[in-house]
Structures are given as C-alpha cells and as structure tokens.
C-alpha cells in the first residue's frame, strides 16, 4: 500500500457543515467527507468574512451598464462588490504562503461558484441572463491559482472529474515533499515512479519533464524544481481521455507480452478494446496489468503511481452522468 502525503485543500466553509449560508443552513458533499481524513483543510466563508450576518438576504450578480459584474443584495441592490474584492485580495495574499494543493468551492454561489452562477439584468424583479459566470471570490482564485485543481462540489459528483481531482492533488502534494527535500535523487525517483501516470496525462510534457530531470542545462536544484513544477502542473491540467490511457496501457503490456499465454494476451486486448469503446472502466485493463506486475515481481513497475494514484478508500464508482 502506498503512503500518501496529505494535500492542503481550501474549502468553502458551508460544505464542511458550518451553518453560514444565507438562510443559516449548511451543506454537505459526500466526497469532501470521504476526503477529510486524507487532507489538511483551510476553510473560508467570504460572505461572513466581509461582515455579513447569518442569516442574511440573498446576494446575486448583476451586470452594470459597463458590463462589469457587481455583487448586490437581490432585493435592495445594496452593492458589496468592493468589500468582496478587497477581502479576496487580502485572503489570496495570505493563501500563497500556505501552499494549497487544491480548492473545492460551493457551486452556483454568487461568491464561491466557479461557473454556472446566474447573472441578472438588475436587482429586484429582473430576469436572469442566458450567460452564466463565476462568483466574485471564486473569480479571484481562478485568476491567481490557475495552476492548481479548482472544483466545485457539484462537479465532483462526476466520476471522471473526481478521479482527475484526486490524482492531481495527491501527485502535487507528493511533489511538494520533493521540493522541500531539494534533492535531485528524490526528484529522479518521483519522475520515475510517475512515468506511466504522466505518459497517460501528457506524453509531450512527460518528454519535457524527462529532459529537465536529465539536467543537461546544469540548473541549480531550486530552479530545476521550480521549472519541473510548472510542467508537472501543465501535464496534469486536463483529465485523461481513453485513447491516451490505451496507449499507456499498451506500453505497460509490452513488459509482459512475451511472458503471458496467448489466451491471457487475447483476454487483455479484448478488455483494452472494451475500455476504448467505453464498455468497461479503466480499472479493468489496469488491474490485469497490475496482476502481472505482482505475478512477475516487476520491481520497477511495482512503484508506478498509476496503479494507486490516490488512496483506494476514495474510489467511488457513482457518477452524476454529467460530462465535463
């Protein structure tokens, strides 16, 4: 069993169960609850932080005459945009030193929602506009932390988005530990252990990262780790599609194709095709390869993070069915 470093996650307070919503209620997310013991948490309720009471009137986002977004009380139009922007700026400055690995915010909130937030023509009895937007606080996070995983709790209901989020936060948390060690040996091991995970995510960035680790440019270790981090974040930015996973699995299959029987080969390739056609999950062909890694005691592949990219307890096959 792999030992995982705990990622640091910023979370909207109401998702953690704090009763800070406009009506004095809280919210829950089963995936946040499950992730709780495996992460370190920083919670924030930006609306309470700017001095709004609990309970309070609802807020909404309107578009002013210059097409600027304003955060206003839905009934009265009282404008709290400046207060929210000032708080967000101060909060972000403090957050940078806390080395956050991921962010989970409350969806559809005019402060915290990362997308799908309704925008209105005005306060009062005004219609919502067809265009959706992000909340004022979330917008600042999206602008300043674009390199890390930011999701809302609604999107985490989607299986692919969730697995991608977990993979990113645990990989980045592991890399943070390497950065602290400032050791080329540790970086080489990290790169080696993540080879097939990175191959699935981004073969082009895997190549760049490999060249960096070779360090022909003789960078000092701090610079090398900083540049590696940039390309690692780039590599992990987009969820893996089936074709990239198939390609990576075929590379892994190459280790065993001469040692297994024709029947085993055919069974694996059938399952790989079914995965490519979205008839079985990724875990099916991956488990077949993993079985061979154990059976043939392949020491190198034994440590590949692709076989356990995040704690197994977090695996949950439920899916909202809504795409990315």
Residue 258 CB, shortest distance to ligand SF4, in Å, is: 56
Spatial neighbors of 189 by CB under 8 A, at least 6 apart, are none
Q: Is 111 in the site for ligand SF4 (CB under 6 A)?
A: yes
CA–CA separation, 300 vs 296, rounded Å?
11
What pairs with residue 12 in β-bridges? 44
Q: Is 95 in the site for ligand SF4 (CB under 6 A)?
A: no
Q: Which residue, 105 or 197, is less far from ligand SF4 as judged by CB?
A: 105
Q: Is 138 in the site for ligand SF4 (CB under 6 A)?
A: no
CA–CA separation, 48 vs 273, rounded Å?
52
Quick one: how far is CA 15 from the chain centroid? 17
Q: Which residue, 31 or 268, is less far from ligand SF4 as judged by CB?
A: 31
Of the ranges 13-21, 80-88, 170-178, 302-310, which one interacts with ligand SF4 (CB under 6 A)? 13-21
C-beta atoms surrounding 256 within 10 Å = 20
Q: Which residue, 47 or 163, is less far from ligand SF4 as judged by CB?
A: 47
Of 112, 156, 173, 206, which one interacts with ligand SF4 (CB under 6 A)?
Answer: 112
- Footprint of ligand SF4 on residues 40-69 (CB under 6 A)? 45-47
**Residue 140 near residue 92, CB atoms below 8 Å:** yes
Residue 112 CB, shortest distance to ligand SF4, in Å, is: 4
Q: Which residue, 5 or 106, is less far from ligand SF4 as judged by CB?
A: 106
CA–CA separation, 208 vs 228, rounded Å?
9
Q: Is 21 in the site for ligand SF4 (CB under 6 A)?
A: yes
Q: Is 167 in the site for ligand SF4 (CB under 6 A)?
A: no
Of the ranges 10-18, 148-156, 163-171, 172-180, which one interacts with ligand SF4 (CB under 6 A)? 10-18
Q: Nearest Cα to 38, choosing from 164, 169, 147?
A: 169
Q: Is 14 in the site for ligand SF4 (CB under 6 A)?
A: yes
Of 74, 109, 233, 271, which one interacts with ligand SF4 (CB under 6 A)?
Answer: 109
Residue 173 CB, shortest distance to ligand SF4, in Å, is: 23
Q: Give all strands (DSSP E) within 52-163, no chain letters.
A: 59-63, 69-73, 102-105, 119-120, 149-152
Residue 256 in tokens: 């065993």
Say which DSSP state 239 is in: P
Residue 316 CB, shortest distance to ligand SF4, in Å, is: 23
Report angle CA 87, 142, 117 to the nearest 5 degrees: 85
Q: Is 13 in the site for ligand SF4 (CB under 6 A)?
A: yes
CA–CA separation, 272 vs 286, rounded Å?
9
Residue 119 CB, shortest distance to ligand SF4, in Å, is: 16
Q: Nearest Cα to 159, choosing from 281, 45, 263, 250?
A: 281
By CB under 6 A, name the binding residues for ligand SF4: 12-14, 20-21, 45-47, 106, 109, 111-112
């Amino acid at each position: 069993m792999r030992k995982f470093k705990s990622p640091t996650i910023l979370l909207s307070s109401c998702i953690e169960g704090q009763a800070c919503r406009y009506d004095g209620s809280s919210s829950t997310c089963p995936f946040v609850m499950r992730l709780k013991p495996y992460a370190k948490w920083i919670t924030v309720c930006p609306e309470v932080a700017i001095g709004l009471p609990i309970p309070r009137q609802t807020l909404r986002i309107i578009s002013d005459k210059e097409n600027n977004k304003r955060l206003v009380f839905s009934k009265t139009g009282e404008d709290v945009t400046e207060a929210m922007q000032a708080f967000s700026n101060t909060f972000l400055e403090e957050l940078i030193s806390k080395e956050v690995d991921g962010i989970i915010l409350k969806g559809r909130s005019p402060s915290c929602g990362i997308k799908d937030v309704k925008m209105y023509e005005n306060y009062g009895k005004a219609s919502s506009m067809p265009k959706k937007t992000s909340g004022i606080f979330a917008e600042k996070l999206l602008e300043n932390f674009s390199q890390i995983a930011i999701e809302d709790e609604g999107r985490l209901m989607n299986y692919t988005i969730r697995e991608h989020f977990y993979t990113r936060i645990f990989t980045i948390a592991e890399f943070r530990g390497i950065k602290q060690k400032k050791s080329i040996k540790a970086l080489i091991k990290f790169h080696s252990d993540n080879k097939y995970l990175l191959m699935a995510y981004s073969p082009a960035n895997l190549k760049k990262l490999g060249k960096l680790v070779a360090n022909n440019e003789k960078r000092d270790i701090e610079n090398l780790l900083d540049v590696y981090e940039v390309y690692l974040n780039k590599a992990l930015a987009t969820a893996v599609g089936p074709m990239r996973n198939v390609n990576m699995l075929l590379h892994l299959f190459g280790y065993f194709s001469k040692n297994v029987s024709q029947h085993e080969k055919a069974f694996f390739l059938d399952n790989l095709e079914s995965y490519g056609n979205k008839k079985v999950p990724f875990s099916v062909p991956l488990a077949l390869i993993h079985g061979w890694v154990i059976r043939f005691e392949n020491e190198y592949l034994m440590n590949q993070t692709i076989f356990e990219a995040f704690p197994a307890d977090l695996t949950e096959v439920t899916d909202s069915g809504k795409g990315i």
